[in-house]
Amino acid sequence: MRSAEQILAESAVIAVVGASRDPSKAAHRVPAEMQRYGWRIIPVNPTADELFGEPVYRSLADIPHPVDLVDVFRPAEDAVDVVRQAVAIGAPAVWLQLGIVSPRARQIAEEAGLDYVENRCLIVERAAANLTRLG
């Protein structure tokens, strides 16, 4: 299993499940910052049409191209279903944001061979490792 730093360093396209329109929420600020540092953000939200200059998809299954990482901004009880969807689309890694922990989601991810991170923040890890995807 890759470390959090390796996952970020090797990922270019991040699907953000639960991406928010509200700039005051972490589910908006975190993907926006990752985008500023060069990652392509693919928002997944059933109620928005465009976020971060990208079309919004209703589910992971609706995304028409591969993603490198599925970032989850949903309650822990939703994580199991999101991880199952990530497995179904062939995503290589899942990341549950700070405060989200799910032993069952971890088990599903590990059994399917996905890299898995939970209870950690993308932007904190990006900053700590001084990572960027900018040229």
**Tens of pLDDT, residues 81-115:** 999 999 999 999 999 999 999 999 999 999 999 99
Quote the percentage of the chain above a pLDDT of 70.
99
What pLDDT is recorded for position 47?
93
The pTM of the full predicted model, rounded to 2 decimals, is 0.96
Let me know: does 31 contact 85? Beta carbons within 8 Å.
Answer: no
2: tokens are: 């890759």
Quote the percentage of the chain above a pLDDT of 90.
98
76 has pLDDT over 80? yes
